[in-house]
Structure 1
Amino acid sequence: MPESGRVPRIAITMGDPCGVGPEVVAAALSDPEVRRQCLPVVIGEPLAFRRACKVLGVEAEVREIRSPESVAESSIKEVPVYCPMRLEERDVEPGKPTNRTARATISYIETAVRMTMEGITDAVCTAPINKAVLASSGFPFPGHTEFLQYLTGSDKAVMMLVGPSLRVSLVTIHVPLREVCSLLSIEGITDTISITGKALWEFFGIESPRIAVCGVNPHAGEGGKFGREETEIIGRAVKRASDMLPFQISGPHPADTVFFHACRGAYDAVVAMYHDQGLLPIKLLHFHEAVNVTLGLPLIRTSVDHGTAYDIAGKGLAHPGSMKAAVSLAAKMVGQGRHRREAGRT
């Protein structure tokens, strides 16, 4: 069967089995529209997944598979679950993570990446992890994005948040606010613009991406009155990117106005300088629909845009909107990527 005719296979990690991950995955995969778009394989603990299905009243045909390769044998009605590290019932008590569940969570991510790199699956979609819990078990990475960059040997990974009316990429990610300005560089901003633009073309079907670049200071520095980063770093990066890339790039723009225009269609994406500058508008507009996408990797990865929510885990209260959107977007990105590759061969 030609690549374009095959339904995308998505490796969906359960995230922390003690959080809401199992529930949002179970809820998402009970949606007929989500199932129509992909063939999923859940990477995680079957005990936690079955419990989530029971809490939600979801009737799922769960099939435990012994090897990642067995996903190809699954029918469209089944939910194959592959578990690289088995846990016991006491290990997956909702809201009570341990070092053992942390290690299992890490193994889910590693397995999903390996399956996708080997071509068993077409994309990775991740449920939430808890950074503090993982750190307490010796996990050396700030979050998913940095770990995926390491696992794939990528030079740079870019976090993009995608909502129905807004896309935002970040230059810096999980760093203290006081360190942001010292981490800004012409090269780093240029690379973020480049990776963002290429992804918009390859995976979102945008022929000539329009990218707005934020300043970091109030009013984008007001000509140097409120800071020199815009004139000495960000503006130069915009000029360099405009000279070398076939995209429509503008900025630096004041962050307090650029998102207003972006969500009304003036731009295809905004490049923000730091975490909360970019996440605040996307979560304000699309709290239950936003998707975290990692750009710059040799694979497609989407994720929910929320945390483990231990306080409501196991209660059937978690909203599955972001997970549904993440699975759906992963499938669409696979399809668009195939289209670009096949068009390039003709």
Structure 2
Amino acid sequence: MKGIIGITMGDPAGIGPEIILKALATESLSGTNCVVIGSAEVLQMVLDKELATPQTINIITSVEQANFEPGIVNVLDIPMSDMNTFEFGQVQAQAGDLAYRCIEKATELALGGDISAIATAPLNKEALHLAGHNYPGHTELLAKLTDTKDYAMVLYTDTLRVIHVTTHIALLKFLQTLNKSRVNTVIKIADEFMKKAGFSQPKIAVAGVNPHAGENGLFGHEEIEVLGPCIETMKQEGLDVYGPCPPDTVFLQASQGQYDIVVAMYHDQGHIPLKLMGFYDGVNITAGLPFFRTSADHGTAFDIAWSGKANPESMVKSVELAVKLSNI
């Protein structure tokens, strides 16, 4: 079903339910081919508390039953275990379990061709682990559910796109485990993803590890021993790759159009410039999956959950990008 997006609720105790409903009420998304996968009762509670624009919840049991009209929110209901003990803004196992079951159902639908992309609201890792689902986050969970071995996190805005060699590991471990095989894999994933996103011959910049990209070994040898050989190998395979590039300038250059995507070495190297330039319009994408997956680029924000204060802009951008990618 080309163009139908499954939106997963994420952790219901966080801002996910609120930003989903706020997003679906915007002019760009109202009436769009979207199906929410989550608790209909929780979504109705958000509306009853007047935390989002009034809309009608349409509970469905299959995507074919969806009614894509403005003001209608189609929901494949994944019920909470016990609404009587549900608490706003609190880490709880049943909320983590619901978030997991939403992802599990969405993956089933995507693999079965019922939806063409998934947009995920944020989950809480502690709640996920309390429920017995021991994954670092969405990326690793989706990789497991789809049996995907080669994948990477992409942060995406209209002006800057970043893909990561590593994410949630300590810097010391990153340096100890940096290797040519992983760098080559991520460069290839970047090329394949960008081509799927409509870039016929993407320009890929590879950020260095060290200040000034090592400056010919003066500040480190990772660029000489690992990154340089990888870049040459990828060039020989026909990819348009540049670097190793000094990390303090490459993200600005990419934002100005010199490169289409930057390969960042570790979590904060890519996240800091992306969030500085586009905190609210940044979208998190898992590249390498058999379907497109986008996500709001922020957490569950328990401190403002269920208060009506949550900004839906990143969720809006996430769904809009999922729609765009699934129709290319």
* TM-score > 0.5, shorter chain as reference: yes
Structure 1 counterpart of 2:17, from 19, 22, 27: 22
1:325 aligns with 2:317: yes
Structure 2 counterpart of 1:287, from 276, 279, 286: 279
Higher relative helix content? 1
Residue type of the alignment partner of 2:249: T
1:236 corresponds to: 229
The answer (yes or no) to whether the contact 2:17–2:43 under 8 Å persists in 1 is yes
**Per-residue Cα deviation, 1:109-139 (whole angstroms, up to 9, x for no partner):** 1001111110111111100011122123332
Shift in Å, 1:75: 1.6
What count of residue pairs does the alignment treat as equivalent?
Answer: 325
**Per-residue Cα deviation, 1:23-62 (whole angstroms, up to 9, x for no partner):** 01000001121135x3111111112211223432412110
1:35 corresponds to: 30
The answer (yes or no) to whether the contact 2:110–2:117 under 8 Å persists in 1 is yes
The answer (yes or no) to whether the contact 2:51–2:306 under 8 Å persists in 1 is no
Q: Against the structure 1 CA distance between its residues 232 and 57, is the aligned structure 2 distance closer, same or farther, given a 3 Å change threshold? A: closer
List alignment gaps of at least 5 residues for structure 1: 337-346
2:195 corresponds to: 201
Residue type of the alignment partner of 2:275: K
Residue type of the alignment partner of 2:37: I
Distance in 1, matches of 2:243 and 2:33, equals: 41
The answer (yes or no) to whether the contact 1:48–1:92 under 8 Å persists in 2 is no
Distance in 1, matches of 2:286 and 2:265, equals: 16
The answer (yes or no) to whether the contact 1:41–1:81 under 8 Å persists in 2 is yes
Distance in 1, matches of 2:66 and 2:272, equals: 40
Distance in 2, matches of 1:92 and 1:34, equals: 29
1:64 aligns with 2:77: no
1:88 corresponds to: 82
Distance in 2, matches of 1:115 and 1:209, equals: 30
Structure 2 counterpart of 1:269, from 253, 261, 266: 261
Shift in Å, 1:248: 1.4
1:341 corresponds to: none
Residue type of the alignment partner of 1:138: G
The answer (yes or no) to whether the contact 1:64–1:80 under 8 Å persists in 2 is yes
Bigger shift: 234-243 or 312-321?
234-243
Residue type of the alignment partner of 2:129: A
State the identity %: 39
Shift in Å, 1:184: 1.4
Q: How does 1:113-192 map to 2 (within 5 A)?
A: 113-192=107-186
The answer (yes or no) to whether the contact 1:212–1:258 under 8 Å persists in 2 is yes
Question: Secondary structure at 2:219's aligned position in 1?
Answer: coil
The answer (yes or no) to whether the contact 2:80–2:95 under 8 Å persists in 1 is no
Bigger shift: 305-314 or 126-135?
126-135
**Per-residue Cα deviation, 1:178-236 (whole angstroms, up to 9, x for no partner):** 11112211111111011111111112x11110000001111111111211111001111
Bigger shift: 83-92 or 265-274?
83-92
The answer (yes or no) to whether the contact 2:11–2:96 under 8 Å persists in 1 is yes
Distance in 2, matches of 1:265 and 1:89, equals: 49
Distance in 2, matches of 1:171 and 1:285, equals: 21
List alignment gaps of at least 5 residues for structure 2: none
Residue type of the alignment partner of 1:140: N
1:219 corresponds to: 212
1:12 aligns with 2:7: yes
Distance in 1, matches of 2:228 and 2:56, equals: 55
The answer (yes or no) to whether the contact 2:9–2:37 under 8 Å persists in 1 is yes
Distance in 1, matches of 2:320 and 2:101, equals: 24
The answer (yes or no) to whether the contact 1:20–1:309 under 8 Å persists in 2 is yes
**Per-residue Cα deviation, 1:273-311 (whole angstroms, up to 9, x for no partner):** 000000000000001000001100101100010000001
Residue type of the alignment partner of 2:285: V
Shift in Å, 1:266: 0.3
The answer (yes or no) to whether the contact 1:91–1:97 under 8 Å persists in 2 is no
Distance in 2, matches of 1:227 and 1:162, equals: 29
1:50 corresponds to: 44
Which consecutive segments of 4 or more residues in structure 1 shift more than 4 A?
Answer: none
Shift in Å, 1:72: 1.4
Residue type of the alignment partner of 2:89: G
TM value normalised by structure 2: 0.96
